[in-house]
Structure 1
Amino acid sequence: MSLGKIIWVDDEIESLTSQQLFLQAKGYEIETFSNGFDALESLPSIQPDIVLLDESMPGISGLETLSKIKESYHNLPVVLITKNETENLMDDAIGSQIADYLIKPVNPNQVLLSLKKLLENKRLVAEKTTSAYQQQFGQLFSALSGSLDYKEWIDLYKKLEYWELEMEKSDSPEMMEVFQTQKQEANTEFYKYIYRNYADWLYAKDDDAPIMSHTLLKNKLFPLLNKEIPTFFILIDNLRFDQWKTIQPMFTDLFRIEEEDCFYATLPTATQYSRNAIFAGMLPLEIQKKYPDKWKNDDDDGSKNLHEAFFLENYLKKNGHGDLKFSYTKVLNHQEGQEMNNNFLNLLSNDLNVIVYNFVDMLSHARTEMEVLKELASDEKGYRSLTKSWFSNSPLRQALLKLEGKKVNIVVATDHGSVRVRTPYKVVGDKQTTANLRYKHGRNLNYNPKEVFAFKNPAEAGLPSPTINSSFIFAKEDGFLCYPNNYNYYASYYKDSFQHGGVSLEEMIIPVITLKSK
Structure 2
Amino acid sequence: MKSFTILWVDDEIDLLKSHLMFLEERNYHVVTCNSGQDALDAVKERPFDIVFLDENMPGLSGLETLTELKRLDASLPVVMITKNEEESIMEEAIGSKIADYLIKPVNPNQILLSLKKNLDHSRLVSEKTTAGYQQEFRKIAMDLSMVRTPQEWADLYKKLIFWELQLESIEDKSMFEILESQKSEANQQFGKFVERHYADWINGEDSPVMSHTLFREWVAPQLEQGPTLLVVIDNLRYDQWFAFEDALNPFFRKVVEKPFYSILPTATQYARNAIFSGLMPLDMEKRHPQWWKNDTDEGGKNLHEADFLGAQIKRLGLDLNWEYHKISSLKQGRHLAQQFRSMKGRDLVAVVYNFVDMLSHARTEMEVIKELASDDKAYRSLTLSWFKNSPLLAIIQEAQAMGFRLIITTDHGTINVKQASRVVGDRETSLNLRYKTGRSLTYEDKDVLAAPRPAELRLPSINMSSSFIFAKNDLFFAYPNNFNHYVSYYRNTYQHGGISLEEMVVPFVVLEAR
TM-score normalized by the length of structure 1: 0.98
Distance 2:83 2:220 in 1: 58
| Residue 70 in structure 1 maps to residue 67 in structure 2 | no
Post-superposition Cα deviations, 1:244-278, rounded to whole Å, max 9, x if no partner, equal 00010012221111111010000000000000000
Give 2:275's aligned residue. 278
Pairing 1:1-80 to 2, within 5 Å after superposition: 1-80=1-80
Deviation readout 1:212-234 (Å, 9 max, x if unpaired): 000001111100224x7211110
**1:298 CA displacement:** 1.2
Q: What is the DSSP-based 3-state SS (H/G/I as helix, E as strand, rest coil) of the residue aligned with 2:408?
A: strand
Which 10-residue stretch deviates more, 388-397 or 12-21?
A: 12-21
- Please state whether the residue corresponding to 1:349 is helix, strand or coil: coil
Match of 1:499 among 492, 495, 500: 495
Give the CA deviation at 1:97: 1.6
Matched, 1:216 2:202: no
SS at structure 2 position matched to 1:397:
helix
Could you give the per-residue CA deviations for residues 252-307 of structure 1, whole angstroms, max 9, x where no partner exists?
A: 22111111101000000000000000000000000000111211111111110000
* Distance in structure 1 (CA, Å) of the matches to 2:256 and 2:115: 38
**What amino acid is the match of 2:60?**
I
1: CA distance between counterparts of 2:314 and 2:273? Answer: 17
Q: How far apart, CA to CA, are the structure 1 residues paired with 2:140 and 2:374?
A: 27
Residue of structure 2 aligned with 1:325, choices 294, 301, 321: 321
Aligned mates of 1:268, 1:404 — CA distance in 2: 34
- Render the CA deviation track for 1:465-512: whole Å, top value 9, x for unaligned: 012200100110000000001101111111111100000000000000
Partner amino acid, structure 1, of 2:294: N
CA distance in 1 between counterparts of 2:3 and 2:133 reads 26
- Which residue number corresponds to residue 441 of structure 1? 437
Q: Distance in 2 between matches of 1:334 and 1:306?
A: 19
Distance 1:347 1:515 in 2: 18
The amino acid across from 1:349 in the alignment is G
Correspondence for 2:188: 188
Q: Give, in whole Å, the separation in 1 of the partners of 2:409 and 2:3.
A: 45
Runs of 4 or more above 3 Å deviation:
403-406
Query: 1:416 touches 1:507 (CA, 8 Å); kept in 2?
Result: yes
Paired residue secondary structure (1:257)? strand
Q: One-letter code of the match for 1:424?
A: A
**Unaligned stretches of 5+ residues in structure 2:** none
**C-alpha separation in 2, matches of 1:405 and 1:103:** 39
Which residue of 362, 368, 378 maps to 2:364?
368
What residue is the counterpart of 1:411 in the other structure?
Answer: 407
Cα distance, 1:405 vs structure 2: 5.2
- For the 8 Å contact 1:55–1:82, the answer to whether it is kept is yes
**Mapped pair 1:308 → 2:305:** yes
Which piece of structure 1 moves more, 393-402 or 421-430? 393-402
The 8 Å contact of residues 405 and 512 in structure 2, kept in 1 or not, is answered as yes
Report the identity percentage: 52
Question: Is the deviation greater in 241-250 or in 402-411?
Answer: 402-411
Indicate conservation of the 8 Å contact 2:340/2:399, yes or no: no
Equivalent-residue separation in structure 1 for 2:409 and 2:158 (angstroms): 16
Q: What amino acid is aligned across from residue 76 of structure 1 in structure 2?
A: L
17 and 2 in structure 1: CA distance in 2 versus 1, 3 angstrom threshold: farther
Equivalent residues in 2 for 1:100-115 (5 A)?
100-115=100-115
Residue of structure 2 equivalent to 1:510? 506
For residue 444 of structure 2, what is the amino acid of its counterpart?
A: N
Residue 476, structure 1, aligned to residue 461, structure 2: no
Q: Which residue of 2 aligns with 1:149?
A: 149
Cα root mean square deviation, aligned:
1.1
Letter in 1 for 2:208: P
User: Aligned equivalents of 2:458 and 2:348: distance in 1?
Assistant: 29
Structure 1 residue 406: Cα displacement: 4.3
Determine the C-alpha separation between the residues in 2 that align with 1:423 and 1:96: 50
Look up the equivalent residue of 1:148 and give its one-letter code. R
Q: Deviations over 1:321-341 (max 9, x none)?
A: 1x3110001000100000011
Which structure 1 residue ranges, 5 or more long, are not aligned? none
Does 2:248 correspond to 1:267? no
Quote the residue 1:120 is aligned against: 120
Name the counterpart of 2:389.
Answer: 393
Partner of residue 297, structure 1:
294
Specify the SS of the correspondent of 1:262.
strand
Deviates more, 1:17-26 or 1:51-60: 17-26
Between 481-490 and 87-96, the greater mean CA deviation after superposition: 87-96
Give the Cα separation in 1 of the matches to 2:207 and 2:9. Answer: 66
More moved, 168-177 vs 389-398: 168-177
1:435 Cα deviation (Å)? 1.6
Q: How far does residue 20 in structure 1 lie from its aligned partner after superposition? A: 1.2
Letter in 1 for 2:158: K
Is 237-246 or 446-455 further displaced after alignment?
446-455
The one-letter amino acid of 1:296's match is K
In 2: Cα distance, 1:49 partner to 1:219 partner: 55
Match of 1:288 among 285, 290, 294: 285
Q: Name the SS of the counterpart of 1:474 in structure 2.
A: strand
Count of residues in correspondence between the two structures = 514
TM-score, normalisation: structure 2: 0.98
Q: Is the 8 A contact 2:230 2:407 kept in 1?
A: yes
Distance (Å, rounded) in 1 between the aligned partners of 2:26 and 2:345: 63
Deviation at 1:26, TM superposition (A): 1.8
Deviation at 1:172, TM superposition (A): 0.7
Superposed displacement of residue 426, structure 1: 0.3
Mapped contact 1:2–1:29 kept (Cα < 8 A):
no
Q: Equivalences for 1:333-348 in 2 at 5 Å? A: 333-348=329-344
Structure 2 partner of 1:231:
228
Of the three residues 240, 250, 255, the one matched with 1:243 is: 240
Q: Is the 8 A contact 1:429 1:446 kept in 2?
A: yes
Tell me whether 217-226 or 158-167 shows the greater mean CA deviation. 217-226
Q: CA deviation at 1:408?
A: 2.3
Q: Partners in 1 of 2:139 and 2:96 — Cα distance? A: 46
8 Å contact kept, 1:418–1:498: yes
Kept in 1, the 8 Å contact 2:36–2:61? The answer is yes
**Cα distance between partner residues in 2 of 1:215 and 1:3:** 60
Q: Does the 8 Å CA contact 1:125/1:169 hold for their aligned counterparts?
A: no
Which residue of structure 1 aligns with residue 249 of structure 2?
252
Whole-angstrom CA distance in 2 between matches of 1:46 and 1:404: 49
Alpha-carbon distance between aligned partners in 1 of 2:50 and 2:495, rounded to the nearest angstrom: 45
Aligned-partner Cα distance in 2 for 1:339–1:265: 30
Distance in 2, matches of 1:168 and 1:79, equals: 28
